[in-house]
Amino acid sequence: MTQTIEIPIEGMDCADCALHVQKELASVPYVLSAEVLLGAEKAIIEVEHLPADLTLIRRAVERAGYRVPEARQEAITRLGTEFTDRVMRLFGMVFGAVLLIVVVGEWLGVSERLTESIPWYLGLGVVLTGGYPIFLDVFKAALRRKVTAHTLMTLGVLAAMAVGEWVTAAVVVFFMRVGDYAESFTAERARRALKELASLAPQTARVLRGGEEVTVPVEEVRVGETVIVRPGEKIPVDGEVLEGHATVDQATITGESMPVDVGPGARVFAATIPQLGSLRVRAIRIGRESTFGRVVQMVEEAEAHRAEIQSVADKFAAWYLPVVAAIAALTFFFSRDPLATTAVLVVACACSFALATPIAMMAAIGAGARRGLLIKGGKYLETLARADTLLIDKTGTLTLGKPRISEQWTVSRAQTDDELLRFAASAERYSEHPLAEAVRAAARERNLSLAEPEDFEALPGLGVRARVDGHIVEVGNRRALASGMSLPQADALEAQGKTLIFVRVDGELTGFLAAEDTLRPEIPAALERLRALGMRHIELLTGDNPRTTAALAARLGVDYRAEMLPEDKIAVVKRYQAEGRTVVMVGDGVNDAPALAQADVGIAMGAAGTDVALEAAHIALMREDWNLVPQVFAIARRTMKVVKFNLGFTAVYNVVGLTLAASGILPPILAAAAQSLPDLGILANSARLLRQE
Ligand code: ADP
Ligand code: MG
C-alpha cells in the first residue's frame, strides 16, 4: 500500500531548485510522486512501500545539491518501524480470527443468510469505509494509467456488489487490506537483519576536550580528536590507538568473535568493543565515513543492485494482470457466473511475484553482513551462483600477505646491508603493498631510522619510486628493475618460491631482498570445496615472477599466469568473459581493484582495512579467511534456490487458485483469503536463509 513520508530538506532557496529536487526524487525506484515545498523546507513523498531507510532518497536530495538533516531523518525512520511492528502483531491476530470465522461461516452457509438479511446501504457503507484507502490508490493509479493488483480486486468487489453479495464484497475488502499488511510485514521482516546491523552503530563518544572528558553524540566528534573507550563500550570511531592495550571484539565488522589484541599504533574500527583494558583513540573516520558506517550504507544500497531475475519477475507481474483480467472475462463469458468471475479477480496475487526475489535477497544479504560478508546486491549473488571461473590474485590474497624478508644480497661494495635496507624502506614508507610492509618491518628490526621520501610514486604491479636523501631510489620486481640481467643467486631463491625485491639507486642495481610469504593454511581445503561446488576453472593471476608462482600453483593444482600488470589482469578477465564464462575474481584490492571491478563478481579479501577493496569489490570479505569464499558461493547457490522456489510456489499457487476460482469451486470469500497467503509462504521459505550455519 502506498505510504506518505515527509523529509526535511536544508538549503533550498529558489523555485527552480525545488523542481530539481523533485525530479531527482521522482527517479528513485520506489517513489511514486514527490512534492517539494520550498517554504516549509520539506518534501512530501509518496512511496510504494516504506523503505527500510532513506538512503536512496537522501542520495537523490544530495544529487540535487541539498541535504537532509541527519538526526531528524533517523527519527522518522525509527518511528515508522515501531509503529508497523505493533500494527503487524495486531493484524496477525485479527487475520487468524477472521479467517476462522469466514471459513466456518462459508461452510455453514452463514454468509449467504447474512447477505440476504443485510440491507444494501449497510453493505455499501461497510465496503466503502473499509476499502476507501485502497479504492483511492486504484483511482490514483488509474489516473496515471497504471493497473495494479488492486485494480482487479476492486473490479471483483464491484462485481460482488453488483449481484448483491455484500458480505462477499466486505470480506474481499478486508482481505485486500490484510494482503497489504502481509506484504509490508514480509518486507519489514526481511529488512530486520539489516536494521539490527544498523542498530549496532555507536551513538555517543567520550571525547577529551580541554583536558576534560565530555560525552557527545558520535556525529559531533571531529577528526583528530582523542576519544576514550572503556572496556565493554563501543569504540565510537575508526582511529588509531594512542594509548592503552586491549583485546577487541571485532565481530560487528568481521563476523569473527575471536578478539584481537591492539596497542598503541594499531587501527581500530567503530562499533567494535574492547574488553579488558581502556584505550585512547585518535579519531580518523566518523559516522557514515567509518568502515562500519560504510558497510551499513552499502548493505542499505544493495536494494538498488537488483538481480536480473527480479526484473523478469517484475515484468511478469505487470503482464500477469491483463492475463488474469482475460481469464475473468472468459470465465464470465462461459459460465455467466458472477461469483466465479469475482473469485478469479481476487485470487490472483501478482505482488508475490514481485516480492519473491527481493525478500530472499534481503535475507541473505542481511545475514551475510552479520557474518563478515558484505554483499553489495542481489545481482552479485545471482551471478555468483552460476559462476564457473575463479581468478585469484596471489600476493596478499592467497598468501598471508605478511611476507618476511629472509635474505638480502648487496651488489655494491660502497653500500652496507643496512644502507641498502634503509634506502628501500624509506622509499616504501607510504606504500600499501604487503611487500613494502615486509621491507619496513626488516628495517624496524634493525632499528634503522627512515628518511622522508619525496616525489613518491607507486607503479602498480612493478614497485615504487621515490627520492631519498637526494637519490632516486627504485624498489620493485625483476621485470621492472633487473630484466635481462643474469643473477644466479636470484634464480635459486625464486625457485624456492621466494619473491625478490630489487633495489636500484640512481639507476644502478645495488642489491635485492628476498621475501618469504606463507600460504594461508585454509586455502587447499577452501579450493577443494569450491571445486566440489562446481567452480570448474581456477587460475592464479600474479605480478610476481613465473618461477615463484609455478612452485605455488603446482602445490595447489591450479593454473597460473605470472608477471601480470594490473591492466593485464583486466585483459584476462575480459578474455574469459568474451568466451562466455562467468568470472569471479578474488583479490585484496592492492593493485587489482580494476580487475575486481571488471569481473562479473569481484571478491575482496580482508576489506576491513583497505578502502579500495571495500569500494571496488562487489562482495567484500571483512576478515581474512578463505573459508568465506566457498561459504559465500554456497550462500549464493542456496539463495537462488530459495528465489526459484518462491517463484515456483507463487506460480503453482496462482495456477491452482485460478483454476479452482474459474471453475466455481473456490467461493470469492475464500479466494480473497487465499490471496494473502503466498506472501507469508515466501517469507517463511526465505527465512531459511537467515538461519544458515
Ligand atoms: P600480485 O598480483 O601477486 O598481488 P602485485 O600486482 O601486487 O602482485 O605486484 C606484483 C609484483 O610487483 C610483486 O610481486 C612485486 O614484485 C612488485 N611490487 C609491486 N609493488 C611493490 C612494492 N611496493 N614494493 C616492492 N615490490 C612491489
Ligand atoms: Mg595483490
Starting from the CA of residue 543, give the closest ligand.
1
Active site residue 337: no
Q: Which residues contact 218 (CB under 8 A, 6 or more apart)?
A: 201, 202, 203, 204, 205, 236, 237, 270, 286, 287
The protein residue with its alpha carbon nearest to ligand 1, atom 6, reads 461
**pLDDT value at 40 more than 70:** no
Paired strand residues for 305: none
Domain boundaries, the chain: 3-69, 222-285, 374-399+519-634, 404-516
Q: Which of the pair, 418 or 36, is modelled with greater confidence?
A: 418
pLDDT of 575 reads 96
pLDDT in tens, 568-579: 999 999 999 999
Q: What is the pTM of this model?
A: 0.77
The answer to whether the 222-285 and 374-399+519-634 domains have the same CATH topology is: no
Residue with cell 517539494: 36
Q: Looking at the CA of residue 569, tell me the nearest atom of ligand 1.
A: 2
Q: Looking at the CA of residue 433, tell me the nearest atom of ligand 1.
A: 23
**pLDDT value at 343 more than 80:** yes
Q: Which of the pair, 36 or 374, is modelled with greater confidence?
A: 374
Residue range 146-173: average pLDDT?
Answer: 83
Q: Looking at the CA of residue 431, tell me the nearest atom of ligand 1.
A: 23
The protein residue with its alpha carbon nearest to ligand 1, atom 22, reads 463
Confidence of residue 415 (pLDDT cuts 50, 70, 90): confident
- Which of 399, 431, 433, 585 has the most ligand 1 atoms within 8 A of CB, as the residue to mutate? 433
Compute, in angstroms, the gap from residue 240 CA to the centroid of ligand 2.
25
The protein residue with its alpha carbon nearest to ligand 1, atom 8, reads 543
At residue 540, the 3 state secondary structure works out as strand
Compute, in angstroms, the gap from residue 545 CA to the centroid of ligand 1.
10
Q: Which of the pair, 176 or 634, is modelled with greater confidence?
A: 634
pLDDT in tens, 236-277: 999 999 999 999 988 888 877 778 899 999 999 999 999 888
Cβ neighbour number for residue 22 with a 10 Å cutoff: 17
Q: What is the architecture, at CATH level 2, of domain 3-69?
A: 2-Layer Sandwich (3.30)
pLDDT in tens, 642-679: 999 999 999 999 999 999 999 999 888 888 888 878 88
**pLDDT value at 190 more than 50:** yes
Average pLDDT over all residues of the chain? 85
Q: Is the CB of 585 under 6 A from ligand 1?
A: no
Using a CB cutoff of 5 Å, list residues around ligand 2, an ion: 393, 395-396, 590
Helical H runs in 249-386?
A: 251-254, 291-301, 308-335, 338-347, 350-370, 378-385
pLDDT of 76 reads 45
Which of 44-53, 192-201, 288-297, 486-495 bottoms out in mean pLDDT, i.e. has the lowest? 44-53
Residue range 513-531: average pLDDT?
Answer: 92
- Which of 462, 503, 564 has the most ligand 1 atoms within 8 A of CB, as the residue to mutate? 462
pLDDT of 93 reads 66
pLDDT of 75 reads 42
Q: Is the CB of 624 under 6 A from ligand 1?
A: no
CA distances to 66, 141, 549 from 393, in Å: 41, 52, 11
pLDDT of 241 reads 95
Most confident of 137-151, 159-173, 335-349: 335-349
Compute, in angstroms, the gap from residue 520 CA to the centroid of ligand 1.
18
Residue 428: what residue type?
A: E
In which element (H, E) is residue 499 found? strand 499-505
Residue range 72-78: average pLDDT?
Answer: 45
In which element (H, E) is residue 47 found? strand 42-47
**pLDDT value at 58 more than 70:** yes
Pick the CATH number of 222-285 from 3.90.1490.10, 3.10.129.10, 3.20.20.70, 2.70.150.10: 2.70.150.10
CA torsion 252→255→258→260, rounded to 10°?
Answer: -60
Residue range 582-602: average pLDDT?
Answer: 90
**pLDDT value at 79 more than 50:** no
If we measure between CA atoms, which residue out of 22, 65, 13, 69 comes closest to residue 46?
A: 22
Compute, in angstroms, the gap from residue 46 CA to the centroid of ligand 1.
52
Answer whether 505's CB lies under 8 Å from 471's CB.
yes
Answer whether 359's CB lies under 8 Å from 677's CB.
no
If we measure between CA atoms, which residue out of 236, 229, 241, 101 comes closest to residue 175?
A: 101
Starting from the CA of residue 432, give the closest ligand.
1
Answer whether 65's CB lies under 8 Å from 14's CB.
no
pLDDT of 656 reads 95
Pick the CATH number of 404-516 from 3.10.20.740, 3.40.50.2300, 3.40.50.720, 3.40.1110.10: 3.40.1110.10
Q: Given 137, 238, 393, 625, which residue is catalytic? A: 393
Answer whether 558's CB lies under 8 Å from 536's CB.
no
How far is Cα 464 from Cα 473, in angstroms, rounded to an integer? 8
Taken in order 324, 326, 329, 334, is the CA torsion positive or negative? Answer: negative
The protein residue with its alpha carbon nearest to ligand 1, atom 20, reads 463
Task: State in words which class domain 374-399+519-634 has.
Answer: alpha beta
Answer whether 479's CB lies under 8 Å from 462's CB.
yes
Compute, in angstroms, the gap from residue 266 CA to the centroid of ligand 1.
24
pLDDT in tens, 401-413: 788 999 999 887 6
Q: Is the CB of 476 under 6 A from ligand 1?
A: yes
Starting from the CA of residue 437, give the closest ligand.
1
Residue range 89-114: average pLDDT?
Answer: 70
